[in-house]
């Protein structure tokens, strides 16, 4: 069986400053919220990646959904 691939949202990271808290990064690329999960993965083989920040921080979240270090950008978008 072939593995389902995520939809590429953008070939660049989402660079955002997030406040402390728990977040659900969209791994499927179907969310209308871009980098945050909105439940659109239901019925697919994807699940969001939950991550937590303990302080306000600027992060580069993967926009192509193919990173090997979810939810963070690892530059994979340059190879797509």
Within a domain: 63: yes
User: What is the rounded average pLDDT of the residues 66-74?
Assistant: 97
Q: Is residue 75 part of a domain?
A: yes
For 66, the domain range is 14-79
Band (2; pLDDT cuts 50, 70, 90): low
Q: Is residue 41 part of a domain?
A: yes
Q: What is the DSSP string of 1-61?
A: -PPPPPPP--SS-EEEEE-SEEEEE-SSS--TTTTB--STTTTSS--PEEEEESS-EEEEE
Query: How many CA atoms does the CB half-sphere of 73 hold within 13 Å?
Result: 21
Residue 7 included in any domain: no
Total domain count, the chain: 1
**Within-domain flag for 6:** no
pLDDT of residue 1: 46
Domain assignment present for 56: yes
For residue 5, being part of any structural domain is answered with no
Q: What is the mean pLDDT of residues 15-40?
A: 96
């Amino acid at each position: 069986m072939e593995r389902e691939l995520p939809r590429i949202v953008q070939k660049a990271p989402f660079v955002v400053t997030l406040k402390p808290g728990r977040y659900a990064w969209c791994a499927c690329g179907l969310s209308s919220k871009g980098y945050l999960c909105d439940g659109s993965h239901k019925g697919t083989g994807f699940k969001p990646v939950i991550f937590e920040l303990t302080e306000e921080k600027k992060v580069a979240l993967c926009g192509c959904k193919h990173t090997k270090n979810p939810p963070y950008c690892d530059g994979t978008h340059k190879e797509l």
